[in-house]
Amino acid sequence: MKKRLSDLLLLTAGTLLVSAGVYFFKFPNNFSTGGVSGISVILGALLPGISTGTLVLVINVALLLVGFAVFGRSFGLKTVYCSMLMSLSIYALERLVPMDAPLTTQPMLELVFSVLLPAVGSAILFNLQGSTGGTDIVAMIFRKYTDLDIGKALFCTDFLIATLAGVVFGIETGLFSLLGLLAKALVVDSVIENIHLSKYFTIVTTKPERITRFINEELNRSATVLTGEGAYTQEGRKVLLTVLGRGQAVRLRAFLHEGKWHDIEVEDDVTAYLEFPEGATGVFVTSTGDAPGTNRLELTLEYGKLVYEEDRLTLHRLAENERDFCKTAKGGFDKPQYTVETVDIYGEYPQHAGVMNAFAACILHGTPLVAQGTEGIRGLTLSNAMHLSSWLGRAVALPFDEDLFLSELEKRCASSQEKQARDVVFDTKGTY
């Protein structure tokens, strides 16, 4: 029932978008980019005594009969609803908002809206196996019995109508109509493609059970689990392969295990996935159960990759932009030409201990800090966001709800239990 209501709302919204684009931008400018509305524009000029709304209704009824015969009852009902809604909405607009001239004096601007609104609306309808009727039905017949995309099928069915507009209204209007027709075909295919866009994930982990359970139970998706091995450590790993919709992708988030390797009430094993507004992604993995330990930083860029590991910085420099190579490569596993360089680095890099030692030295002796306090705030923000994501069992966006974080933290503080443990003091000799 919920899905049917959702589909009905989408069908209604898509149809109203088409109607608005046709009435406010196509009819006043005599743009004939195909479809029943395009035929109506031409016939309206030749038969001035008949309204465009009436012409749309008559032509749609004839083509609906063809749609019933080819696609069956389900398609017909959706199309009848959308077709009647479009005819009635245009009829209502003619009476409520009469127009005898274009909204603006900018025909190119009006062409953009006359294409964009109906194209987006039609794409929504096509995605639900519906249409506003008319030549859309002819296009969908082409798609059913040929290899044409829906946008190309629309172009084939509507090309003649756009050409006739040039004959009836002049060469300028005809050229605008042909341009609009081409743009409509491209926009429809693009919108449909983005509706169905998915993201492919490769997840490397030593503990796949919780991740696979989350994918299966909460996202209602499947995953393939493979056995892999670290190239450097030679340690066994599980490799999870899954495909998610864009809305599901942002939910694949931080997994913090508290007390996994030690009898403590804080995290000691973390895997976090991050998405950035510009499209970049990142993965952060750390564990207190990893011995002798691995410190690795990898940055993948358009012209190369930087890898820092074992106190060595390596640059893989590409001969060309990876995006450009990807679009022109002929083989399935081709790689662009690249060189490998070892980048000289200077000084010592004592990691966490070095940061704390530098902090103490700054207080005692006024020596420069390794990292400013602002960097600590940024790091703490990310850490708290990971905690909140794990506590809630979902993705969180930055900046996160600090009141919600405090509330969740206080829950865990309230349930904390005092533990008896043997005191251990670090040997700090030689560190200051």
pLDDT digits (tens, 9 = 90+) for 154-193: 666 667 666 766 666 677 766 766 676 666 656 655 555 4
Q: Is 206 exposed, middle or buried (0-12, 13-18, 19+ CB in 10 A)?
A: middle
The H or E element containing residue 267 is strand 267-275
CB atoms within 10 A of CB 324: 12
Q: What angle do CA 159, 163, 167 make, to 5 degrees?
A: 165
CA–CA distance from 45 to each of 107, 135, 352, 386 (Å)? Answer: 19, 20, 78, 64
The single residue listed with the structure tokens 């358009």 is 302
Residue 10 scores a pLDDT above 90: no
Residues 53-82 have pLDDT tens digits of 666 667 767 777 776 677 666 556 777 787
- Tokens encoding 8: 């009905």
| Residue 365 banded pLDDT, cuts 50, 70, 90 | very high
Q: What is the mean pLDDT of the chain?
A: 76
CA–CA distance from 230 to each of 222, 236, 294, 336 (Å)? Answer: 24, 6, 11, 24
Residues 216-234 have pLDDT tens digits of 776 677 777 878 776 655 6
Sorted by sequence, the CB contacts under 8 Å of residue 228 that are 6+ apart come out as 204, 236, 237, 238, 239
SS3 34: coil
Residue 121 scores a pLDDT above 60: yes
- Whole-number percent of the chain with pLDDT over 90: 9
The H or E element containing residue 74 is helix 73-96
Give the pLDDT score at 226.
79
| Long-range contacts of residues 285-288, Cβ cutoff 8 Å, at least 24 apart | 287/261, 288/261, 288/262
CA–CA separation, 397 and 200 (whole Å): 21
Q: What is the mean pLDDT of the segment spanning 129-134? A: 65
List the chain domain ranges.
2-195, 295-346
Residue 307 scores a pLDDT above 60: yes
For residue 216, give the nearest of 242, 254, 249 by alpha carbon.
Answer: 242
Q: Greater confidence, 250 or 143? A: 143
As a dihedral over the C-alpha atoms of residue 83, residue 89, residue 90, residue 92, rounded to 10 degrees, the angle is 140
| Chain mean position to CA 133 | 30
| Residue 373 banded pLDDT, cuts 50, 70, 90 | confident
Q: What is the mean pLDDT of the segment spanning 4-22? A: 81
The H or E element containing residue 283 is strand 281-287
Spatial contact of 351 and 370, defined as CB atoms under 8 Å apart: no
Spatial contact of 94 and 165, defined as CB atoms under 8 Å apart: no
The single residue listed with the structure tokens 């959308």 is 82
For residue 75, give the nearest of 23, 5, 158, 131 by alpha carbon.
Answer: 131
Q: Greater confidence, 366 or 204? A: 366
Q: Greater confidence, 352 or 155? A: 352
CA–CA separation, 333 and 123 (whole Å): 33
- Whole-number percent of the chain with pLDDT over 70: 66
Give the pLDDT score at 77.
72
For residue 162, give the nearest of 185, 133, 131 by alpha carbon.
Answer: 185
Give the pLDDT score at 319.
92
Q: What is the mean pLDDT of the segment spanning 415-424? A: 76
| Residue 5 banded pLDDT, cuts 50, 70, 90 | confident
Q: What is the mean pLDDT of the segment spanning 249-258? A: 59
| Model pTM score | 0.41
As separate numbers, helices (DSSP H) first and strands (DSSP E) second, the chain gives 15, 10
- DSSP assigned state of 71: H
Residue 14 scores a pLDDT above 90: no
Give the pLDDT score at 328.
85
Q: Greater confidence, 204 or 397? A: 397
